[in-house]
Structure 1
Amino acid sequence: MASGDYRKDDFLEESRMDSGINSYCSILKSGDQQRECSGEPSEPRDTFSAVEERLDSAYASSSLTVESLAEIVKGLTFDTKEAPATSPGISEQEENILTSITDDGDTILHLAIIHEDTSIAKQLIQLFPKEVLDIQNYLYQSPLHLATYLNLTEVVKSLVDKSISVELQDSDGNTALHVACHHGLTTCAAEMTSGMSPGKLALVLETQNWRGLACLHLAALSRQHQIMKLLMANGADLNIKEGTSGKTALHLAVEIHDTTSVKLLLSGGANVDAAMFNGCTPLHLAVGRQDTAIANLLCQSGADTKLRNVEDETALDLADGNNDILALFPFDDIQISGRSVVGVNF
């Protein structure tokens, strides 16, 4: 690979938050308690290695049940108001359990969330420092990603309250907010956006996944109108372009014939004449798809009918003889062989 080449895998390896367990080990150690916290499996780790199936993507069942997970955490009565290092009663075995990672990169918190045990997950969130809460498994999913996928709103809130890193991206480049926007998880999205500082929120809203899609693009593509309203209320850029062809959310809404989203975006101030990389405006797309209703909406919102794409075509050129769409255009825009039809007697 040439020195200038840059691969997605390289970015993931550089950005992955996987060092938190070592940080937690150092927190657990007191002045005279210098137990080693190496990467070698300890006896309690067998509890996790018994998991034969991937849990961090399909959330399938396995030999680790909610009951056995509860048994692992049973008896870990930490005073969460104090740092774990000063909390009494942490044995070496308990430390090994809490700091173990499965073959899939999951911490015990990941597993508690996967098994949808909200109570245990919230206890662990209060116990662990931020470095551990930000650990990503081998699909680069943080606990926040998993809690969002499973719509565990209480867990999402607990994580956000601990100021976790909401900007972390999974193996598809999605932040947890991307996940919420795609699946219409409005409450999870609301918890995340309300818990972020304005600067961090702006960063996440501008972040594109590996398909070049920002949160607003995903919400528009999935017809998630409540999510779109939430993003707009939080200052999302309505004219942000996706990375592959330069479409805005308005272009995407037109493409899928979503009149509700088109109205929502236009009322919010989206640029009706935004151009893709090939110069096509939303009106070009609406006319090309013979969508008279949306073409009319765009025209009523002041769309410029004379704009040309890189093929030197106006939207009218794409009407393909559709009389309903032709009726939307002023007569002085219609030309035959380069001449206006105005004043021509047939």
Structure 2
Amino acid sequence: MSRSGGEKQGKLDFDESRIDSGIDSYKSISREQDGSSDRSEDKEKPCVADERLDSAYVSSSLTVDSLGDFIEQCSISECESATDCEYTEEEVNFLTTVTEDGDTILHLAIIHEEEHFARQLIDLFPPELMDIQNNLYQTPLHLATYLNQPPIVKGLVEKRVSLELQDQEGNTPLHVACEHGFWDCANEMIHNASPSNLVNVLEAQNWRGLTCLHVATLRKHHRLLRLLMKNGVDLNIQVSCSKLILLCEVKTFGLVTKHPPDFLVQEGTSGKTALHMAVELHDAQAVNMLLNKGANVDAAMFNGCTALHLAVGRQDATIANLLCQAGADKMIRNMEDETALDLADGNDDILALFPFDDIQIMGRTVMSFS
């Protein structure tokens, strides 16, 4: 897709780890391949935005101008709703054009940050087409979130696109926002979602078993944590499974999109809550936020360890003190038959947090004076 008015600078510094059909294929173009090998000084320069490739360049003749011409000729403004519109065969063929990477025209407009065209396409597209997933199972909403485009995210969510579709990593668009700290995109999704959809999205786990709360905690995005907490996220949900997905195909307007079926193969993993993760990261602010909002201070991982076990084992007296003040049970035993007090042996700062009101032999309480 050619760019009118020159290349726009992206909102992020792109790197090779970014995953979407357009972004992941931004490859360096060797100066030797284009016949300019004598310009040796250019070989040391990194790839820049106007050198990037995506499916539009290699498999389609679509251009910004052709999109604009089509928009002028076809509008849904005359229809009461997109589903009531009757498209000509030429219009349907144009709307359902996909590249070899599975991108629709809307995917491409978002990838190239052509906001004006993307917004027109959102008005033009029937809802079914806006949930098409490309070869990496990304919807236009995934890409708009990944590129931090809140106006596009808002437009898509207002058209009731799915918030629950997952990409090849199992991430919903809200996972993507929580991963990168894009509060504005997350806010648009959360406040424009229906209550029932929001519950499902907040509980959705990616293929590593992580919910949006887990991801925001791991990335220390505290503002996003507050947003999730304010909107009723379950603070005690555990990293409970890894999932093997068999993708089924669904045809929409002649295009193939892929969805995970209801059948999932699950396998238990760690059982960590967001509180466990915050403790492991020595993130006292997140620990305090979670405790103040009612996180279960004594929630146990699958190995029986509570947050206090983790704090003591990491010799983090500050967080151990926060947990004790929140009423953490100091005598819960993990699968190794150890209490938090057992793990504190030798650390005077942490031992000072434990009242010696019990008689213990080898860490086991035999008499209590309380």
Please state which band the TM-score falls in when normalised by the shorter chain. Answer: 0.7 to 0.9
Equivalence for 2:319: 294
- Summarize the Cα distance change of 1:218–1:194 in structure 2 as closer, same or farther, 3 Å threshold: same
Contact 1:167 1:175 in 2 (8 A): yes
Provide the rounded CA distance (Å) in 2 between the counterparts of 1:115 and 1:204. Answer: 27
Q: Do residues 237 (structure 1) and 234 (structure 2) align? A: yes
Query: What whole-Å deviation, never above 9, does each CA across 1:126-148 have from its counterpart, x for those lacking one?
Result: 00011000000011000000000
Equivalence for 2:141: 144
- After superposition, residues 322-333 of structure 1 pair within 5 angstroms as 322-333=347-358
- After superposition, residues 61-210 of structure 1 pair within 5 angstroms as 61-62=52-53, 64=56, 69-76=63-70, 77=72, 78-83=74-79, 93-210=90-207
- Summarize the Cα distance change of 1:238–1:150 in structure 2 as closer, same or farther, 3 Å threshold: same
Provide the rounded CA distance (Å) in 2 between the counterparts of 1:85 and 1:136. Answer: 20
- Summarize the Cα distance change of 1:159–1:338 in structure 2 as closer, same or farther, 3 Å threshold: closer
Equivalence for 1:24: none
More strand by share: 2
Equivalence for 2:22: 56
Query: What whole-Å deviation, never above 9, does each CA across 1:286-324 have from its counterpart, x for those lacking one?
Result: 000111100010001110101111111101111141111
Letter of the 1:58 partner, please give it.
D
Equivalence for 2:263: none
Provide the rounded CA distance (Å) in 1 between the counterparts of 2:325 and 2:131. Answer: 48
Which of 236, 254, 257 is the equivalent residue of 2:282? 257
Equivalence for 2:11: none
Provide the rounded CA distance (Å) in 1 between the counterparts of 2:296 and 2:181. Answer: 25
Q: Do residues 319 (structure 1) and 344 (structure 2) align? A: yes
Query: What whole-Å deviation, never above 9, does each CA across 1:242-300 have from its counterpart, x for those lacking one?
Result: 12211110000000100110010011010111111111100000000111100010001
Deviation of 1:74 after TM superposition, in Å, equals 2.1
Contact 2:276 2:307 in 1 (8 A): yes
Contact 2:181 2:216 in 1 (8 A): yes
Aligned residue for 2:290, secondary structure, equals helix
Provide the rounded CA distance (Å) in 2 between the counterparts of 1:219 and 1:321. Answer: 34
Equivalence for 2:305: 280
Provide the rounded CA distance (Å) in 1 between the counterparts of 2:292 and 2:183. Answer: 21
Aligned residue for 2:152, secondary structure, equals helix
Deviation of 1:57 after TM superposition, in Å, equals 4.3
Aligned residue for 1:331, secondary structure, equals coil
Letter of the 2:328 partner, please give it.
A
Contact 1:220 1:253 in 2 (8 A): yes
Q: What percent identity do the matched residue pairs reach?
A: 60
Contact 1:332 1:341 in 2 (8 A): no
For structure 2, the residue ranges without an aligned partner over 5 or more in a row are: 1-19, 27-51, 241-268
- Summarize the Cα distance change of 1:138–1:123 in structure 2 as closer, same or farther, 3 Å threshold: same
Give the count of matched residue pairs. Answer: 288
For structure 1, the residue ranges without an aligned partner over 5 or more in a row are: 1-53
Contact 1:332 1:340 in 2 (8 A): no
Deviation of 1:55 after TM superposition, in Å, equals 3.7
Provide the rounded CA distance (Å) in 1 between the counterparts of 2:358 and 2:129. Answer: 63
Provide the rounded CA distance (Å) in 1 between the counterparts of 2:188 and 2:328. Answer: 36
- Summarize the Cα distance change of 1:333–1:208 in structure 2 as closer, same or farther, 3 Å threshold: farther
Letter of the 1:147 partner, please give it.
A
Aligned residue for 1:171, secondary structure, equals coil
